[in-house]
């Protein structure tokens, strides 16, 4: 399997979470119909968040909902993957980061060791989250919801972004566990 940049997504130390990057890649090009709304975004809220309707109606940013949804789709494809809570608690990137740091079994890895499917939280640079698709010369290729061509955290769709080393060096890259479900 190769990325649009021509690099192999499967590395010798590949883990099943790379499935999340493949799932996210299928949705590159999804766009909002109006600010923070579309049938796709409503689906993300309903399938991942405690009260998706409330967040959808409030037109909340949906980057974390997109990442959580892709991870949940990955779990459905393999019994070898660790699990996330069936419902996340908030659309907040900060709370998602606390969930990863808590009992999920996730650990922070240096960005230079990032692999497909790792989760990148852009805090403290800005409140945003994405999925690593691959490493590239000088940074990471990520897939992010609720961004745009300029890389804003308040965008209009799902985009593939090339994030520079200067930015990703200030971010956390999370490696999720492989194994039995986490509580």
Q: Is residue 50 part of a domain?
A: yes
Mean pLDDT computed over 126-145: 93
Helix (H) or strand (E) holding 119: strand 119-121
Helix (H, G, I), strand (E, B) or coil at 105: coil
Secondary structure tally for the chain: helices H, strands E = 6, 6
Query: Do residues 47 and 39 lie in contact, with contact meaning Cβ atoms separated by under 8 Å?
Result: no
Query: Do residues 55 and 49 lie in contact, with contact meaning Cβ atoms separated by under 8 Å?
Result: yes
Q: Is residue 148 part of a domain?
A: yes
Mean pLDDT computed over 136-163: 92
Query: Do residues 46 and 53 lie in contact, with contact meaning Cβ atoms separated by under 8 Å?
Result: yes
Q: Is residue 1 part of a domain?
A: no
Computed over every residue of the chain, the mean pLDDT equals: 79
In this predicted structure, the answer to whether residue 181 has a pLDDT above a threshold of 80 is: no
Domain that holds residue 166: 18-175
> 129, exposed or middle or buried, with CB in 10 Å at 0-12, 13-18, 19+?
buried
Q: Is residue 110 part of a domain?
A: yes
In this predicted structure, the answer to whether residue 130 has a pLDDT above a threshold of 70 is: yes
Q: Is residue 45 part of a domain?
A: yes
The CATH number of whichever domain residue 115 belongs to comes to 3.90.1720
Q: pLDDT tens digit string along 31-45?
A: 999 888 899 988 888
Q: How far is CA 166 from CA 136, 162, 169, 181, in A?
A: 13, 12, 6, 35
Number of folded domains that form the chain: 1
Which of 30-34, 90-94, 163-167 has the lowest average pLDDT? Answer: 90-94
Q: Is residue 4 part of a domain?
A: no
Q: Is residue 30 part of a domain?
A: yes
């Amino acid at each position: 399997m190769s990325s649009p940049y021509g690099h192999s997504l499967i590395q010798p130390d590949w883990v099943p979470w790379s499935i999340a990057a493949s799932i996210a890649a299928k949705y590159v090009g999804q766009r909002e119909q109006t600010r923070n709304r579309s049938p796709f975004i409503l689906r993300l809220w309903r399938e991942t968040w405690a009260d998706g309707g409330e967040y959808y109606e409030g037109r909340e940013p949906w980057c974390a909902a997109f990442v959580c949804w892709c991870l949940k789709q990955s779990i459905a494809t393999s019994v070898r993957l660790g699990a996330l809570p069936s419902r996340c608690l908030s659309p907040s990137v900060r709370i998602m980061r606390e969930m990863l740091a808590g009992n999920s079994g996730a650990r922070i890895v240096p960005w230079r060791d990032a692999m497909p499917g790792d989760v990148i939280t852009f805090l403290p640079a800005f409140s945003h989250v994405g999925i690593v698709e691959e490493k590239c010369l000088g940074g990471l290729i990520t897939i992010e919801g609720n961004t745009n061509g300029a890389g804003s955290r308040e965008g209009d769709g799902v985009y593939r972004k090339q994030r520079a080393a200067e930015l990703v060096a200030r971010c956390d890259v999370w490696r999720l566990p492989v194994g039995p479900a986490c509580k």
